[in-house]
Structure 1
Amino acid sequence: MGNRNGFKIRDSDLHELERSIRILNQTEIIHIYKRWHQLYTAYSGEEQLPSPLDVEGFANLEASLPNSYIMNTMDELQMNPFKDRIVKVFSLSGDRLSFEEFLDMVAHFSYKMPAKRKVPIAFRIYDFDDNNIIGREDLKMMMDRLTGEDDVLPDETKTTIIDKVFEEACKDSHSVGLNLFDFKVVLSKSPDFDLTFGFNL
């Protein structure tokens, strides 16, 4: 019953996860669960977590971890300036990730995931105020995070860059921000998007 590498996931759960994710096979899903299990058992928070296994010894897919713990513990996220946004986008609760949500996140950052399925996720990550529009403040915040604490890019330069983005991507010169279609136009001019928006677990 889905027992590989010492981790038991019910066959029905494996098939459902494989069907919903589509780009990962069962071996890859179990590999990701193994990493999840390591994170879960290593968590040293004050709260008493439920067992990562159910009463029959199979994987408890409802178990969850705090977003803050995942983004500050995973090597693949620790140095990412958008790590808080990444985990939040995949969290239904807004502050915790279940294994299924963790799997969804890893799948979308997999190099196997087609770019067209990554774009809507990237849009949500950069939409800092979650209003379904990437406005000027969102773009400025994006640049601030990319340049970090040693930001040497003058505000005037950032404003010029933002103006240029709006000019090239927005059909409406009076637009208050980029919608998903506009965002796709911007990314179409970034051929390395698929390489930069990903990691191997």
Structure 2
Amino acid sequence: MGASSSVFTNEELQEYSELTFFSKKEVIHVFEKFVELDPEILANRKGYRLSMEKVCQMPELKVNPFSDRICRVFSTSESFDGSLSFEDFLDMMSVFSDQAPKGLKVEYAFKVYDFNEDDLLDTEDIEMIVTRLTGSAGALEENEMEQLLMNLMQEADLDDDGQLSYAEFEHVISKSPDFLNSFKIRL
């Protein structure tokens, strides 16, 4: 761990700690996870970006049906390729940490589920969510999907506009005690 801590100045560690839900020691641990995904990082630390493919190989994301969306939401890449800088990776890990407040997790979950990135969850977004969650083996028949979408909208679409706003999504999630368990990555 001594080699990892020398990668950052004390000021950088302090700043990262202030901007996340991590202690300085945990920031170093996150950096070690980042390096594990591609050891070339140490030679090219400044400006280095992990490809989305490498990030998605993390055990915590490998089985997550939304791993590509998670990378895209946290990526600041100008090429929109889902690659993550260390700061992007640190932000992602911070939001998924146990210390992050539920409201922040809900905000990022909404962004992850908003496939067309229009700040609303419409039936196409929800169909994508269901399809990813059920996988090809558990794929729903067309009539089953239509019924599911209709039931969900009937329950969650409070203003009957055919889509879920962030406030409506937040309301639905508030009824789900298991949500926090599904939106975390342990260090």
- 1:88 to 1:12, Cα distance in 2 relative to 1, 3 A: same
Is 1:67 the counterpart of 2:66? The answer is no
- Contact conserved, 1:90 with 1:104, CA < 8 A, in 2? yes
1:51 aligned partner: 43
2:87 aligned partner: 100
How many residue pairs get aligned? The number is 182
How big is each residue's C-alpha offset from its partner over 1:71-97, in whole Å with a ceiling of 9 and x where there is no partner?
Answer: 1x2111111110100011000112210
Which consecutive unaligned segments of at least 5 residues does structure 1 have? 43-48, 54-59
Which consecutive unaligned segments of at least 5 residues does structure 2 have? none
How big is each residue's C-alpha offset from its partner over 1:3-38, in whole Å with a ceiling of 9 and x where there is no partner?
Answer: x432111111111111111x2111111011111122
Is 1:179 the counterpart of 2:178? The answer is no
* CA drift at 1:153: 2.5
Kindly report which structure 2 residues correspond to 1:67-86, keeping only aligned pairs within 5 A, or say none: 67-71=52-56, 73-86=57-70
**2:12 match: secondary structure:** helix
More helix by share: 2
**2:44 match: secondary structure:** coil
TM-score after normalising by structure 1? 0.84
- Contact conserved, 1:111 with 1:195, CA < 8 A, in 2? no
RMSD, aligned CA = 1.7
The letter of the residue matching 1:69 is: K
* CA drift at 1:40: 2.4
**1:16 match: secondary structure:** helix
Distance 2:133 2:123 in 1: 15
How big is each residue's C-alpha offset from its partner over 1:133-152, in whole Å with a ceiling of 9 and x where there is no partner?
Answer: 11001101111111112024
1:46 aligned partner: none
Q: Over alpha carbons, which structure has the higher Rg?
A: 1
TM-score after normalising by structure 2? 0.90
**2:97 match: secondary structure:** coil
What is the aligned-residue identity percentage? 34
Kindly report which structure 2 residues correspond to 1:26-175, keeping only aligned pairs within 5 A, or say none: 26-41=24-39, 51-53=43-45, 60=46, 62-71=47-56, 73-93=57-77, 94-95=80-81, 96-173=83-160, 175=161
- Contact conserved, 1:165 with 1:186, CA < 8 A, in 2? no
Distance 2:93 2:42 in 1: 23
